[in-house]
Copies of this chain bind each other. A is one copy, B any other.
Amino acid sequence: MKDMNSINSNISEIVKLARKFNCFYLSGLHQGTCKPFLVGGHQVGLIRPDVLKYLQRFPEIFCVTGKYVELNPAFRDYQERTSRIAEVLQTLRKEGEICALKGWRDECFEVSTPFYHESLLEMDRSAICLFGIRNYGVSINGYLFHPTKGLCIWLQQRSFTKQTWPGKWDCFVSGGLAVGYGILETAIKEVAEEASVVGDLAKKLVPAGCVSFYFESERGLFPNTEYVYDLELPLEFKPENADGEVETFELLTAEECVQRALTPQFKTTSAPVLLDFLIRRGYINPENEPNYRHVIELLHVPLQTIYKWPQTEMATNGDGEQLQC
């Protein structure tokens, strides 16, 4: 429980950071400027006005009403929905006006229904944020107990050539959940590619929960859920990047990690995984963080129930006042 009180000085900064990676959850979501995006009768996303103006040019693909945007319900199956949206995205990509599409990945993410996870279509990873579609990834905390420094955590600096957050500091390893890959499978693939963790060492990956938050940037909307794995590494282990996506790795103490996460050099959307780890390991705790409960709530915002247009259950207190959901 070393360092437990030494992070006292950053307490208000931790709440500010949790609010920053939930800027859309706490603010944009309530401003009413985005329209629900419906596919097959289910809300799967939200569309901002800046994106809507492009989609309105394709009325045979997107039905835009005063209340929502719907993918043409005549497209009945996964393949047809996928290909019709892909055509629009390729057209827009060629025009070169949408920032997010400049980072085209040739890697597809799945879009599924909110509750029973029925697959509806797939879409290039770069376009997910234009539709506010839920985004799933895997993040790995690589850590060790140093004989003199206590809990230490490996962080990576992202390559300066990455399409998103180039050169920023990030968790040890992370990666998006692409179509066709399982969750543990993605974790194993990513630790091998990004940090050369293979064989028996990769078998030590321990699943440890997930974090959910709703971030917004100029690029788009990010209702993100990260599946979290912890990996205790030997003291002598030195991560080596194998896929060119990492600039460098650095081993930091828990306290240095908090400091790093609070700088603008840290990838905002990776901070939840790091904060969750520091909470689960007791470094951020009720004694040194007065808004402990609030921070933990902001690591688990209810994305599962955020998209529910049209509302089937109304949550009222009997006088038409909506209480919550």
Contacts and interface: CB of A to CB of B under 8 A. Distances in A.
A304 interface: yes
Interface in A37-83: 66-67
A179 interface: no
Nearest to A289: B207
Nearest to A318: B32
Contacts of A209: 276, 279-280, 296
Among A32, A115, A309, A314, find the residue whose CB has the most chain B CB atoms closer than 10 A: A32
A139 interface: no
Nearest to A67: B319
Interface of A: 1, 29-30, 32-36, 66-67, 115, 182-184, 203, 206-210, 212, 225, 227, 276, 279-282, 285-287, 292-294, 296-297, 299-306, 308-309, 311, 313-319, 321-325
Given A32-B315, A294-B304, A306-B323, 10 more contacts: A1-B203, A29-B323, A183-B286, A184-B287, A206-B281, A207-B282, A208-B281, A212-B293, A297-B305, A301-B302
Contact of A207 (B286, B294, B319): B286
Contacts of A299: 300
A304 B15 CA distance: 14
B30 A313 contact: yes
15 contacts: A29-B315, A29-B323, A29-B324, A32-B323, A34-B317, A206-B282, A208-B279, A209-B296, A225-B293, A227-B286, A280-B280, A296-B300, A297-B303, A311-B322, A322-B322
A317 B32 contact: yes
A259 B318 CA distance: 40
A285 B119 CA distance: 21
Contacts of A34: 317
A26 to B, nearest CB: 9
A88 B268 CA distance: 50
Contact of A33 (B301, B318, B322): B318
Given A182-B287, A282-B207, A287-B182, A324 B297 contact: no
A70 B261 CA distance: 43
A123 B227 CA distance: 40
A285 B225 CA distance: 15
B67 A321 contact: yes
Contacts of A210: 292-293, 296
B323 A287 contact: no
Nearest to A281: B206
